Structure 1
Amino acid sequence: MNCNDNAAIFHALHRQSEPLRLPNAWDAGSALLIESHGARAIATTSAGVAWSHGYRDGDVLPLDRHLATVAAIVRVINVPLSVDIEAGYIDESKEMALTTARFIQAGAIGFNIQDGIGTPDLLCRKIEQARETAERLGIGIYINARTDLYTRAVAPAHDRVEEVLARARQYRDAGADGLFVLGVTDRTEIREIAKGTELLLNVIAWPGLPPAGELSALGVSRISVGSWIPQTLWAQTSTLVAGFLADGRSEPLYDRAAPYPEVNAYF
């Protein structure tokens, strides 16, 4: 399936009666496993991708390594792939065109781009560059503008919804398709944000987040898992390693392990 077909499918998946559920992958193996459980699209977690290469999260992963991961994922899956590119791995928006082109060439048809501690104007320029580049390449990418107002406490609590909606208007005008509000969990605030913007609302699994069925009624179009799966695997791996180093017992290592032939048969 070509990039345009995948892009069209990905756009359509955001307009169903139930929110699109995206368990996030961090390498080709995790992406293949997620797809095998019926996921209709794959999204990456920037944190998970960075950690898998031995880098901390936060725009420090070398771009070539991220692109290699995207290409590896695209090689093994048959569904659309959306990529979290953090702030774009750039300091100035003028480089966003080249970054976008390279990710599209690697097979990505969706992008998360975040404002973080940057200004909304800077993210707008990045969105504009990404949209212009995709149009020049003839690909209808899905741009998901992420705002970190909730997690970074950029605005006072009582002003957050208003500030999110103000940024949403700017991101929509710049060419975004979706709005990703990281860390929002309050039902009233989710409803207000969904009703107050034309962008399709994305939320992330978070302590206190309502279940998917309820989120649909609140106006949510997409739910991501983020880095929770690799974080959980990190904790479980730590427990297994610490136990083996302490007592040398084999049983905990294989009691709940997937059989080798089963895993190997996926590839």
Structure 2
Amino acid sequence: MRSQAEKASMFRTLHERRGAFIIPNPWDAGTARILAALGFEALATTSLGVANGLGRADSRVTRDEVIANCRAIAEATDLPVSVDLENCFAHAPAEAAGAIRLAAEAGAVGGSIEDATGDPKDGIYDFDLAVARVRAAAEVAHSLPVPFMLTARAENLLHGRHDFGDTIRRLRAYQEAGADVLYAPGLRNLAEVRQMVGAVKRPFNVVTGWLDPGVTAADLAEAGAKRISVGGALSRLALATFVQAGHAMKEQGSFAWMRDMAGVGDLRRLFETGAPV
């Protein structure tokens, strides 16, 4: 089993080498092991996936639930794990930064802080407070015994604020405040990816959820992305298949969906291959 320090070194190397890498988002230990067995080099948690697994209609999760999920995924494989910490479950900078320490104690070697407040009436933190929150999180991340890569997320595009100028201003400020990776979810095409990447000097994470599904990892690498994630998409895909099978049974009395299910032996081999050694 790799040590946390070895995972941290591996994670930083992925961000320093040429090209882009895909960091898929499992939602539990089993899906983490499958992705490890398929050959991925790092994993990221998904708070939406956690909420889906808990049946939360509002997609909300608590800090304790996210940290417990992080621990389960970090312990499931030998891969570096970055944790989706939303707004770090607090508004004040020092309190928000505490989530970084908890994630590291749970085995993560990276994690994110976003500038979305969680309040539908006031969706984005004031600029100065947002920067102070990133600075506090970076100070904790960079003071830990094991290096921790902090990702700072500018959430404007997900909250009706389609202001690329302000988004870039925020990303640059988060860069200066100590963020190791930058992220602006909601980019819709390669031109927007190029615009964001060209405006900053840190590795840039692109989430695929708002892009045309025909865009490939090679396309995103050419556009300058360093890290490619899928957020809660894999969880949603699995649940879509589950819903379709449920409809088939209830409405048609059909079990034809069983032709497409994974074999028990195949799953056991994947779980065994993906397990820590």
How high is the TM-score relative to the length of structure 1? 0.90
1:117-145 Cα distance to aligned partner (Å, 9 max, x none): 22233332222222222333222211111
Residue 143 of structure 1 contacts residue 176 of structure 1 at CA under 8 Å; is this kept in 2? yes
- Report the equivalent of 1:196: 199
Name the amino acid aligned to 2:93: S
**Cα distance between partner residues in 2 of 1:75 and 1:83:** 13
- Tell me, which stretches of 5 or more residues in structure 2 are unaligned? 117-122, 273-277
- Report the equivalent of 1:118: 124
Q: CA shift at 1:146, angstroms?
A: 1.3
More strand by share: 1
Name the amino acid aligned to 1:64: D
- Report the equivalent of 1:224: 229
**Cα distance between partner residues in 2 of 1:55 and 1:7:** 32
**Cα distance between partner residues in 1 of 2:267 and 2:221:** 34
1:104 equivalent to 2:107? Answer no
**Cα distance between partner residues in 2 of 1:57 and 1:107:** 27
**Cα distance between partner residues in 1 of 2:156 and 2:234:** 23
- Report the equivalent of 1:183: 186
Residue 35 of structure 1 contacts residue 77 of structure 1 at CA under 8 Å; is this kept in 2? yes
Q: CA shift at 1:114, angstroms?
A: 1.3
Residue 85 of structure 2 contacts residue 111 of structure 2 at CA under 8 Å; is this kept in 1? yes
Residue 124 of structure 1 contacts residue 174 of structure 1 at CA under 8 Å; is this kept in 2? yes
**Cα distance between partner residues in 2 of 1:204 and 1:83:** 14
In the alignment, which of 164, 172, 177 is matched to residue 174 of structure 1?
177
- Report the equivalent of 1:150: 157
**Cα distance between partner residues in 1 of 2:168 and 2:62:** 33
- Between stretches 124-133 and 79-88, larger displacement belongs to 124-133
1:80 equivalent to 2:66? Answer no
Q: CA shift at 1:94, angstroms?
A: 2.4
1:194-223 Cα distance to aligned partner (Å, 9 max, x none): 122112111111332632212222211111
- Report the equivalent of 1:140: 147
**Cα distance between partner residues in 2 of 1:6 and 1:176:** 19
| Structure 1 counterpart SS, 2:228 | strand
- Report the equivalent of 1:64: 64
Residue 46 of structure 1 contacts residue 57 of structure 1 at CA under 8 Å; is this kept in 2? no
Residue 111 of structure 2 contacts residue 151 of structure 2 at CA under 8 Å; is this kept in 1? yes
User: Measured at CA, do residues 241 and 54 of structure 1 come closer, stay the same or move farther in structure 2, by a change above 3 Å?
Assistant: same
- Report the equivalent of 1:131: 138
**Cα distance between partner residues in 2 of 1:111 and 1:33:** 21
Q: CA shift at 1:56, angstroms?
A: 4.5
**Cα distance between partner residues in 2 of 1:20 and 1:185:** 19
| Structure 1 counterpart SS, 2:113 | strand
- Tell me, which stretches of 5 or more residues in structure 1 are unaligned? none
Give aligned pairs, total.
Answer: 261
- Report the equivalent of 1:6: 7
Residue 141 of structure 2 contacts residue 149 of structure 2 at CA under 8 Å; is this kept in 1? no
**Cα distance between partner residues in 1 of 2:98 and 2:264:** 41
Residue 7 of structure 2 contacts residue 79 of structure 2 at CA under 8 Å; is this kept in 1? yes
**Cα distance between partner residues in 1 of 2:58 and 2:231:** 12
Residue 71 of structure 2 contacts residue 107 of structure 2 at CA under 8 Å; is this kept in 1? yes
Residue 44 of structure 2 contacts residue 84 of structure 2 at CA under 8 Å; is this kept in 1? yes
Residue 47 of structure 1 contacts residue 57 of structure 1 at CA under 8 Å; is this kept in 2? no
| Structure 1 counterpart SS, 2:10 | helix
Q: CA shift at 1:84, angstroms?
A: 0.5
Name the amino acid aligned to 1:84: D
Higher relative contact order (CA 8 A, sep 6+): 2
Residue 32 of structure 1 contacts residue 77 of structure 1 at CA under 8 Å; is this kept in 2? yes
Q: CA shift at 1:38, angstroms?
A: 0.4
Name the amino acid aligned to 1:221: K
Between the aligned residues of both structures, percent identity stands at 28
Q: CA shift at 1:57, angstroms?
A: 5.8
How high is the TM-score relative to the length of structure 2? 0.87
